[in-house]
């Protein structure tokens, strides 16, 4: 398992500062997974373009690339279902989908 996570950084590559990327980092921690951090700046669009994204987070899991924190959360839930649930059950996930569609700022 070779997880890699593109995370937004500024001048200090050791300090990812995007709350959207933090969501993914927290989801990984909850699942008990670790990922190599790949520092990414706004001007490096070419680095993530092959993964069909123009923004981070982008999670790479071997040959699979997943962009967007909500899509990553669902990918982690489905792929690593033997680990603690991010949603506490399928019913809760469906409620979250409804809420996210109503208030897109949640993702």
pLDDT tens-digit profile of 5-39?
A: 999 998 888 888 888 899 999 999 999 999 999 99
The pTM for the full model equals 0.84
Percent of the chain with pLDDT over 70: 85
Domain range for 90? 3-106
- How many domains are there within the chain? 1
DSSP state of 36: E
Instruction: Specify the pLDDT at position 87.
Output: 87
Order of strands across the sheet that contains 3-8 = 36-40, 3-8, 58-61, 64-67
The CATH number linked to 52 is 3.40.30.10
| Contact in structure between 83 and 32 (CB atoms under 8 Å) | yes
Instruction: Specify the pLDDT at position 17.
Output: 86
């Amino acid at each position: 398992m070779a997880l890699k996570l593109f995370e937004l950084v500024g001048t200090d590559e050791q300090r990812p500062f995007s709350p959207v990327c933090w969501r993914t980092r927290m989801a990984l921690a909850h699942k008990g997974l670790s990922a190599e951090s790949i520092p990414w700046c706004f001007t490096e669009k070419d680095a993530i373009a092959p993964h069909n994204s123009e923004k981070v987070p982008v999670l790479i899991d071997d040959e699979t690339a997943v962009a967007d924190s909500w899509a990553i959360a669902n990918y982690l839930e489905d792929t690593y279902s033997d680990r603690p649930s991010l949603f506490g059950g399928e019913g809760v996930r469906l409620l979250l989908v409804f809420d996210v569609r109503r208030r897109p700022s949640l993702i």
